[in-house]
Amino acid sequence: MYLGINLGTSEVKVLLLASTGRVIGTAGSPFTVSRPHQRWAEQNPEDWWTGTRSALAALRAKHPDEFAQIRGIGLSGQMHGAVLLDAEDRVLRPAILWNDMRSDKECAELTGRAPDLHSVAGNLAMPGFTAPKLLWVARHEPDIFARTACVLLPKDYLRLQLTGGKVSDPSDAAGTLWLDVAKRDWSDSLLAACNMTRAQMPGLAEGSAPSGTLLPQVARELGLSDGVIVAAGGGDNATSAIGIGATQPGDGFVSLGTSGVLCVVGDSFRPNPASAVHAFCHAIPDRWHQMSVVLSAASCLRWVCKLTSTDEPTLLAEIEALPADALNTAPLFLPYLSGERTPHNDPYAQGVFFGMNHATDRALLGYAVLEGVTLALTDGLDALRAAGTEAKALSLLGGGARSDYWAQLLADALDTATRKHGGETGAALGAAGSRRAAIRRPCSANRPSRSSSRRIRAVMPDCARGSTLTARCIVTFGRSSIRRANGSPERESTAQTAAGRVARRPGHAGCYHRRPSSGSSQCPSPQKNSTLLLAPRGSTTSRATPRTRSPRSCRCRVRSRSGSSLSQWKRT
């Protein structure tokens, strides 16, 4: 028996896996995210350990005989979070999470300090990554920074509690901006740019390698032997890939969790930071993967449910009951509730509902949310394709993958056959499997393992619906990210000018001007002319037309549906 532990943002999930690959049972314990200030996101690491113990107790109670036979444990978890420990391994402050946007100024500082950042780390400096968080702590909490003896990632804090050891793995460490991703080792130069050293980093081990054994007191509490091995594991996306057999170049998946991730496996390190594509290590040796990330995915659905006083099953049923013609006039939605990464890298981007009228009801708002997240993922797929990455198949994972309706919408928009794997346990399943041999034989997402094949359902794209989504994608983003079966775009992309790059500025309601390079959050239009892009609805041109706006006042508001497209006013 093998145990997988996946430390997510909203829940820790534990999964018991037989040596045959059969899932014996699962359990979980929920978490909340603390937001003491706007754009902050924190959690207490001690709550993770308490929740994990609670989930393990529940799993043991349901399957006592099988639980007692556990021989190995694998770990998975949310990436990028910063757990700061002192010399006595005590937590110094709440963990700063992956969706915390406070450190945008520090990103620019890091880029200036580390000229080799993009070539070594393979990624742009973004507020969600770990390194800028430490620069923020050094600036705003210098006493805590001075006392920081070690920085752990979220899942590795659980490892510390389980084994007493400080160890991470390359797939998770790649999200810190301190790793030489090609060499799969810490970079002394990138650490020095943050005034840190290797001594403050955990050791590194490949995902399937042992990282330690259970502490005697932990083993007694769990009813297990002291010799149970804890594997290094991996970041949640890498272990999700292992969970559905995505280990070979071209294998890929779409994860609809709190965030939305489109991940494709490769056999080499191929960075493309210009399009905010993530290039990370896989959780198995000699494999890497590229990812596009939408910071708000299934969380957008939870948000609109809260907004309209309903629950997800009820809203999804109402969406599925909508007539087809109603979908073509549904509002448009930009899903940037927490800023955005791929391909825009804009922590200030905000969500927008556009095109509402008296006939707009809860179901149409819900559909707009599903469609907006889906089209944002096609934006990310376009960025991956621009980097030369093609997906052979895309499996669906995460809580959002439970919806058959959303699965079909994704297949139509991505113009790719997708498959459902029972994705609610994807990362936990991969974590459990990380203690087993990661690759026993070549295995692609097109050839599921025998143990999981019964749970897989193919979802084929609907070309007619895909054409409609193409048109709405043009209206929403000012271009089409959707490519038809012949592999060519229906419309060439403009130079990364999607509406999602706009950033609402304080004091200028409806303003979507570029944030000045100085980092000021004020709209520049009262001081000087601003170059805007106009992309009229239905236009077939591949480039928007520059316009110069008068500095007299700031009136850049989104026009009605009868006028220009939602992306009429866009940052250049």
Active-site residue list: 236
Assess whether the previous peptide bond of 546 is cis (omega < 30° from 0).
no
Cα dihedral value 294, 298, 300, 306, nearest 10: -160
- Report the distance separating Cα 195 and Cα 179, nearest Å: 15
Of all residues in the chain, what percent are helix, strand and coil, respectively (each to 5)? 35, 20, 45
Q: Are 420 and 460 in contact (CB under 8 A)?
A: no
- Here the tokens at position 185 are 């080792």
Whether the CB-CB separation of 276 and 343 falls below 8 Å is answered with yes
Candidates 152, 167, 154; CA nearest to 51 is 154
Size (the chain), residues: 572
Q: What residue type is 240 in one-letter code?
A: S
- CB–CB of 94/144 below 8 Å? no
Helices and strands (H and E) in the chain: how many: 18, 26
Q: The tokens 């032997």 sit on which residue?
A: 225
Contact of 439 with 247, CB cutoff 8 Å: yes
The amino acid at residue 446 is: N
Contacts of 201 (CB under 8 A, 6+ apart): 150, 151, 168, 178, 186, 191
Neighbours of 384 (CB within 10 A): 24
Q: Which residues contact 118 (CB under 8 A, 6 or more apart)?
A: 124, 271, 273
- Residues in a beta bridge with 17: 2, 23
Task: Select from 60, 61, 130, 55 the least CA-distant residue to 100.
Answer: 130
Note whether 435 and 229 are within 8 A (CB): yes
Residue found under tokens 């959690």: 43
Distance CA 368, CA 375 (A): 10
Q: 461: which 2 tokens?
A: 């794209």
Please count the other Cβ atoms lying within 10 Å of the Cβ belonging to residue 465.
Answer: 16
Give the distance, in angstroms, between the CA of residue 427 and the centroid of all CA atoms in the same chain.
13
Q: How far apart are CA 141 and CA 153, in angstroms?
A: 19
Q: How far is CA 259 from CA 39, 82, 327, in A?
A: 15, 18, 24
Please list the residues that pair with 459 across neighbouring strands: 418
Q: What is the dihedral of CA 362, 364, 368, 370, to 10 degrees?
A: 80
Residue with tokens 């001007």: 513
Give the DSSP H or E segment for 280: strand 278-281
Chain CA centroid to CA 113, Å: 26
